[in-house]
Amino acid sequence: MRQDIILKPWQIELTTNSTNDSFEESTFFTGNGRMGIRGYLPFWQEKRTFETGLFVAGIFGEIKPGITDFVNLPTPVWGNIECDGHPITLSSPVSSTLDMKTGVRSQSFLAKSGETTLNIEHHVFCSMSDPSLLVQRLSFSASRTSNISVHAGIHTACCNCPVPDDQVKENHETIKLAEPAQHDMCKDSVDCTFSILGTGLIVREQMFFHTSFSDSEDYISDDSLGKQWHGILQSGQKFVLEITTRITTSRDIDPLIGSNEISDTYDDLFAKSSLAWASRWSESDIEIDGAPDDQSAVRYNIFQLITSCSARDSSVSIGARGLTHTRYKGCYFWDTDLFMLSFFLYTHPEAAKNLMEYRVRTLPQAKENAKKMNNAGARYPWMTSFDGSEQCESWDIGASELHITADIPFAMQQYFD
C-alpha cells in the first residue's frame, strides 16, 4: 500500500516529484458517472497519447472484428505554457488534492523559465448537475514581468494501447479510435466532432474559454487544435483561464445533458455541481467512529461508486475499472451485479434500476450466446460492452465462468425484493 497519500475525512492529498505516475493518475481520477478524467498533470509539454485518459460511458471503438475497446477520447484537459519564448520546466514537487465532497481535483506546482518562476494552479471537475460538462480553471503568477504564451485546446492524437485479456501477455501497439471529422473555430470557442472507429458512434467536444488576456489566435497541428494567448504578465499579476467543455455523443440518453452555449463562470458551474453533489452525499454518506483514515477510505469507495455509474442511462453498466482505465477493454462483468448493485439499491434506486435494465436490454445477446454454447435459455457473456456481445478472447475463461448465469438472476431478485 502506498504510504505517501495523505487521507483526510473529505480529501486525499499527494505531493510528488513525478509527472508520470499511473497509480497516482488512477487514484486521483474524478468524474460524474457519465464521464471521467484520470489525474494526470495538464498544461505540461509532455504529450502522452494513450496514458492521459478521458472516458465517456458507452463509447467503445472496434479494435478487431467484433471486439471493442473503451475509447481513450481526445482530451481537452491539455495545453502548454511558455515564458519569454521558452518552455517551462518543473522546479518543485507537484501537490494534488481530490475533494470527494465536490469532485474537484486540484494540482499546484512551481515552474521556471530562465530567471522567472511561475506559481501554477489547475482545478478540474466533471459537473454533477450537467453530466456533459468538464470544467477547468488554470491560474498562475510570475515572479518577474514576463512575456507569456498559453496554448489550450484538444489533444487530438489520443489513442488506445489495448491490454490483452491474457495477463501474461503484453501489448505495445497503439490504435487511434477517435478521428477528427470536422471542426469549427470561433472567437472564444472550439468545436470538434470525432468519429469512433468501427462502431459508428460520434463524439462532439465544444470548448468555451474565458481569460484575462483579451486576444487569442487559432492553432491547428497534426496532434492538437485550440487557442493560444500571448501577453505581458506583470510581476505578481495573476493570469486566469477558465475552460468549459461540453462533451456530447450520438448515443446520449441522460436527460440532464444540456445543449446550450456556456456563459457561466467556473464559480457558477462549481456552485451548481456542488449542490448536486450535496444531494448525492446526503443519500450516500457513511459516518464512522474511528481513525480518520478509515473515514476517508469509506468515502473514497463511495466516491468511486458514484463517479463510475451513469445513473440515468440504462444502456451501460459499470466497467471493471470504472471510468479510470481501459483495462479489460472497459467491459462490464458480473461484479457490478453481485457486489455493487446493493449500494445503489439503498442510495440511488434509479441507478439500481438502470443497472438491471442494462441486463434486460442485452437478454437477446445472452440467448444468442447460449445457442453458440449449445445451451438452452440464456447465458450472459463473461465480458460485455455497449451491445451486450461477448468480448472475452480467452476461451478458457469466457467459456468456463458459468456462475455469471446465476449471478444476474440473483441480482435481479435482490432488486425486486
User: Are 247 and 366 part of one and the same domain?
Assistant: no
**CA-closest candidate to residue 247, choices 34, 48, 72, 62:** 34
The CA distance from 34 to 311, in Å, is: 8
Is 68 inside a domain boundary? yes
End residue of a domain, out of 232, 262, 292: 262
**CA-closest candidate to residue 128, choices 377, 306, 376, 333:** 306
The residues with which 384 forms a beta bridge, in sequence order, are 332
Residue type for position 211:
T
User: Are 226 and 106 part of one and the same domain?
Assistant: yes
**Torsion of Cα atoms, 231 then 232 then 236 then 240, to 10°:** -10
Give per-residue pLDDT as tens, 19-61. Answer: 888 899 999 999 999 999 999 998 876 778 888 899 999 999 9
User: Are 251 and 355 part of one and the same domain?
Assistant: no
User: Are 355 and 230 part of one and the same domain?
Assistant: no
Place of cell 491490454: 163
User: Are 258 and 366 part of one and the same domain?
Assistant: no
Which distant-in-sequence residues (6+ apart) come within 8 Å of 222 by Cβ?
Answer: 157
The CA distance from 210 to 294, in Å, is: 40
Which ranges in 16-159 belong to alpha helices (H)?
22-27
User: Are 204 and 63 part of one and the same domain?
Assistant: yes
User: Are 113 and 234 part of one and the same domain?
Assistant: yes
The CA distance from 55 to 223, in Å, is: 19
Structural domain total, the chain: 2
Q: What is the pLDDT of residue 146?
A: 95
Q: What is the pLDDT of residue 51?
A: 85
**pLDDT of 396 over the 80 cut:** no
User: Are 240 and 364 part of one and the same domain?
Assistant: no
**pLDDT of 342 over the 70 cut:** yes
Structural domain including 185 reads 6-262
User: Are 219 and 359 part of one and the same domain?
Assistant: no
User: Are 93 and 176 part of one and the same domain?
Assistant: yes
End residue of a domain, out of 235, 262, 289: 262
CATH of the domain at 187: 2.70.98.40
Is 137 inside a domain boundary? yes
Q: What is the DSSP string of 355-369?
A: HHHHHHHTHHHHHHH
Give per-residue pLDDT as tens, 128-158. Answer: 999 999 999 999 999 999 999 999 999 999 9
Is 143 inside a domain boundary? yes
Measured over all CA atoms, what is the biggest interatomic distance in the chain, rounded to whole angstroms?
Answer: 75
**pLDDT of 338 over the 80 cut:** yes
End residue of a domain, out of 219, 236, 262: 262
Is 274 inside a domain boundary? no
Instruction: Give, in degrees to the nearest 5, the angle at Cα 113 between 109 and 119.
Output: 25
Is 302 inside a domain boundary? no
Q: What is the pLDDT of residue 138?
A: 98
Q: What are phi and psi of 346, to 5 degrees?
A: -90, -25
The CA distance from 94 to 16, in Å, is: 5
**pLDDT of 325 over the 90 cut:** yes
The CA distance from 16 to 117, in Å, is: 19
Q: What is the pLDDT of residue 58?
A: 98
pTM: 0.95
Q: What are phi and psi of 356, to 5 degrees?
A: -70, -35
The CA distance from 21 to 124, in Å, is: 18
**pLDDT of 397 over the 80 cut:** no
Is 303 inside a domain boundary? no
Is 90 inside a domain boundary? yes
User: Are 227 and 357 part of one and the same domain?
Assistant: no
Q: What is the pLDDT of residue 133?
A: 98
- For the chain, the first-to-last Cα distance in angstroms comes to 38
The CA distance from 29 to 24, in Å, is: 8
User: Are 16 and 131 part of one and the same domain?
Assistant: yes
The secondary structure element, H or E, covering residue 307 is: helix 292-308
Is 293 inside a domain boundary? no
The CA distance from 21 to 136, in Å, is: 21
Residue type for position 202:
I
Q: What is the pLDDT of residue 21?
A: 86
**pLDDT of 401 over the 90 cut:** no
